[in-house]
Structure 1
Amino acid sequence: MPNPPDKTTRPLGRVLLTGATGMVGSSVLRVLLNEKTVREVVSLGRRLSGIDHPKLTDVRFEAFGETQSIEPYLNGINTVFHCLATYSARVSRAEYEEITVDWMCALLAACERSAPGVTFCLFSAQGARSDGGGMSFALKIKGEAESKLFASDLERKFAFRPGYIAPSGPRSTWKMADHLFKPLQRLMPSIGVTSDELAHAMLYTAIHDRRCTAVLENGEMRTLFA
C-alpha cells in the first residue's frame, strides 16, 4: 500500500464506481470504503455488490450505453472509477467493443454534461495504445477507449495499464493464465500487480497526482509501493 504524503492533494469526495463485482472493481470498492476522503460511493453495476456499508449506495443498472440514464447518478460526483470490463475470450468482438468503448463513451458524455470537473480513472491494460495500435483486437479496442477518454473535455483523466493482475481475494472462476502467472507473480512481482495493489494505485493517483492527464504503466504503478 502506498505511503501518502501528510497533506491530501484532492479528496475523492462523492465517487461513482462501475464494475464493482469484477475482480478489479471489487478491490477498488473495498479500498474506497476504507478511504477517509470518500463521502459516498455510488456503485453502478449489472449485479449488486452485496456489501452493506453506510458509505455505499448500491444500484443495479443495465443502461450503460444510455447517457441520459447515467446522468442522474452523477449529481455531486467528484471522482469516477470506471472498472467495468469483460474478457475478450467470453464475448464477440462487437460485444467487447460495445462494453469497452461505447459504454464508456456514454459515461464520458454524461460526465461532460453533468460533472465536467470530475477526476476520471479508467482501468485499461498493458499493451493498449492511445493511438489505436496494439498486438490484439482487445488491446486495440482498449486503446480506442483511452483515446476517447483523453479527447474528452473532462478536466482530469487517468488510464491505468497493469500487467498481469493477480486476484487478491477468492475468485469464483480462474482463467488458465492464473494457474501460471499467479505463482510466477509471487516470484517476479514486476510482471504485474495484485488487484488490491492496482486499487491502491488508482486511489493514490486520484488523490495525490498533480498531473491533469496521464497514462500509468505497470512499472510506474509499482513505484508507488517501493
Structure 2
Amino acid sequence: MKVILFGATGMVGQGVLRECLLAPDVEEVLAVGRRATGQQHEKLRELVHENLSDYSSVEDRLTGYDACFFCLGVSSAGMSEADYRRVTYDLALAAARTLVKLNPGMTFVFVSGSGTDSTGKSRSMWARVKGETENALLQLPFKAAYMFRPAYIHPMHGVTSRTRLYRAGYAVMGPLYPVLKALIPKYVTTSEQVGRAMLHVVRHGAPKRVLENADIDALEATGP
C-alpha cells in the first residue's frame, strides 16, 4: 500500500511513521507538512508544503494513495476557539476534501482524542471542535474513515514530543507506564500500538468507525 502521513514530526506521527516504514506491505510513505522530518529511508518521500489549507498547486503529488493517516494537531491550551478550529477542523477538512477527490478508494484515519464529544454539548472547547471535525470527516465519501481516540500515549523507540512541557510530562510519567497500564489499561496505549492499529484498519477494516483507546489496543493485539 501507499500511505500519506500528515504530522510526521509530531509525537503520534513519529510513531506512525516508524510502523509504516517497518511494515512489509507499505511500499511508500509520503510525509506532508510544513517542515521536513529529517529522516532518510528508501520508502519515505516528503512534501514540504507551507499552506496546509490549499493543495491546488501540489495535487499531482497526492494521487495514487491507499491510505491517509492524519496525525497533525496542537494543544488547545491558551488558544481561542476560533484559532483552535482553524488548526484542527479547517486543516483536516482541507486535506480530506482534496484527498477524497483525488483518491476516492482511500481509507482516511484521523487522530482525535479520548473525551472528544460528537454531540456538540461538551463544555470543553477542544472536545466540541474535535467532535465536529470527526462528524465532518465521516460524511466524506472515502472508501472508509476511522476516528482514533487515544488517551495517554506512551512514546516508544525514541519517539519524542516537540513541545517542551509535554516532554517534561512524559519524562515524569514514563517510569509509571507499567503501573498505569496495570491499573487503567483502557486509558493507556503506546505510539507503537497506535501506528500498528492504523495499519490494521487499512488492511482489514474495523467494526466501528470511532475507535476509543481500548478499541485501538484490541485491534493492534489481533496482529497485522
* Structure-2-length-normalised TM-score: 0.86
Cα drift, residue 112 of structure 1: 2.4
Residue equivalent to 1:14 = 2
Q: CA deviation at 1:45?
A: 1.2
Give the stretch that moved more between structures: 166-175 or 24-33: 166-175
- The structure 1 residue matched to 2:46, chosen from 50, 55, 58, is 58
Cα distance in 2 for partners of 1:93, 1:181 equals: 29
Q: CA separation of 1:61/1:201 partners in 2, compared to 1, >3 Å: closer, same or farther?
A: same
Contact kept, 8 Å, 2:3 with 2:26, in 1: the verdict is yes
Counterpart selection for 1:178 from 147, 167, 170: 170
The structure-2 alpha-carbon separation of the partners of 1:188 and 1:25, relative to structure 1 and needing over 3 Å to count, comes to same
State the TM-score, normalized to the length of structure 1.
0.86
Mapping 1:202-221, distance limit 5 Å: 202-209=198-205, 211=207, 214-221=209-216
Match of 2:179 among 183, 187, 191: 187
Q: Provide the C-alpha distance between the structure 2 equivalents of 1:64 and 1:48, rounded to a whole number of angstroms.
A: 14
Question: Structure 2: which amino acid aligns with 1:138?
Answer: W
**Percentage identity across aligned positions?**
34
1:57-100 deviations in Å (ceiling 9; x for gaps):
11211111114245333210111000111111154432221111
Query: 2:11 aligns to what?
Result: 23
Given the alignment of the two structures, is residue 160 of structure 1 paired with residue 152 of structure 2, yes or no? no
Distance in 1 (alpha carbons) for counterparts of 2:146 and 2:136 = 12
Listed one character per residue, the Cα deviations across residues 123-174 of structure 1 (whole Å, up to 9, x for unaligned) are 1100113233435111111111100111111120001000111222253524
The residue type paired with residue 178 of structure 2 is R
2:68 to 80, 84, 103: 80
> Match for residue 133 of structure 2?
145
Matched, 1:201 2:189: no
Q: Distance in 2 between matches of 1:32 and 1:110?
A: 22
Q: Structure 2 CA distance, aligned partners of 1:42 and 1:170?
A: 19
Q: Is the 8 A contact 1:104 1:145 kept in 2?
A: yes
Which runs of 5 or more structure 2 residues have no equivalent in the other structure?
none
Structure 1 pair 149–51 and aligned structure 2 pair: CA distance change class (3 A):
same
Matching residue's letter, 1:149: L
Residue 209 of structure 1 and its aligned partner are, at CA, apart by 2.1
Counterpart Cα distance in 2 of 1:119 and 1:60: 22
Q: Secondary structure at the match of 2:194?
A: helix
Instruction: Answer whether contact 1:16 1:42 (CA < 8 A) is retained.
Output: yes
Residue 136 of structure 1 corresponds to 124
CA distance in 2, matches of 1:152, 1:170: 32
TM superposition shift of 1:186:
2.1
Q: Is the 8 A contact 2:14 2:159 kept in 1?
A: no
Alignment pair present for 1:40 and 2:28: yes
The residue correspondences of 1:90-105 to structure 2 (distance < 5 A) are 91-105=79-93
Point out the more displaced range, 83-92 or 33-42: 83-92
